[in-house]
Amino acid sequence: MRMRIAVMFSAVLGAAASSGAWAENKYQYLLDATSRISELTSQSLSPSSEALAKASSEACSALTQLLKDQEFRADLDKMAASDWKTLKERTQIKRDLSLFIAAFLRPEEAALRMAGLKEGTIKEILWSASMFRNSLDDKYNPNRIIMSMDKFRSEVCEGAVALQKLRDEERRLGIVRKWAIRMAGISLIVVDVTVASPTGPVAIGSVAIGAAVASWSE
């Protein structure tokens, strides 16, 4: 049973890849902002205040653009009907670590790579997803996802200005690192609402985990 589920989920992403859905993600601007903020916080122990401010400003712009995009809300709504249909499979994946790795992490790794994200960013996103594994079978609620993301957007956009005035380097970097993790969650969401099967447990589970990561420490 476990192997059958893993194979089935891999097939879902394989079908999306072969259909050409990966050629260009329509939310590429969000994925690019995630990559830049991830690279910045991982490559240097002490990025300049200017670099951190620029990264946070890009994150603000990307989040604002995403939340204004009516297609994004439509994409979220399309998946809502699959919540109860995939609950049993998602609960089983959550309970079984080896199945979680085979049926969720590996397909997601392939999805993120095909979406054009760099290896360092992919590792950070998957690490974040692993930390929130218990959210895999959370109830799918587009309104709650949008509200949580908008709250995060406000935090980033207001913080982007305040960040330039903050003298404490360690605190400044800590804030941006937390934002990088939360951006990783949103990247999970936009990749799967765009390219995965609307009925796939991987896609629904990915959005659930992504939403949990994005709302971390609210």
With a CB cutoff of 8 Å and minimum separation 6, the contacts of 28 are: 116
On average, the pLDDT of the chain sits at 84
Which residue's entry shows tokens 């394989």?
A: 14
Q: What is the pLDDT of residues 7-46, one digit of tens each?
A: 444 444 444 444 344 445 789 999 999 998 888 887 666 7
Write out pLDDT tens, residues 175-212.
888 999 999 999 999 998 886 554 578 899 999 999 99
Q: Following CA atoms 205, 210, 203, 64 in sequence, which dihedral angle do they give, to the nearest 10 degrees?
A: 150
Residue spans of the domains in the chain: they are: 27-214
Work out the pLDDT band at 122, boundaries 50, 70, 90: very high
Quote the pLDDT of residue 170: 76
Task: Give the pLDDT band (50/70/90) at residue 66.
Answer: very high
Q: What angle do CA 181, 184, 190 make, to 5 degrees?
A: 155
With contact defined as beta carbons under 8 Å apart, do 93 and 187 qualify?
no
Q: How confident is the model at residue 3 (pLDDT cuts 50, 70, 90)?
A: very low
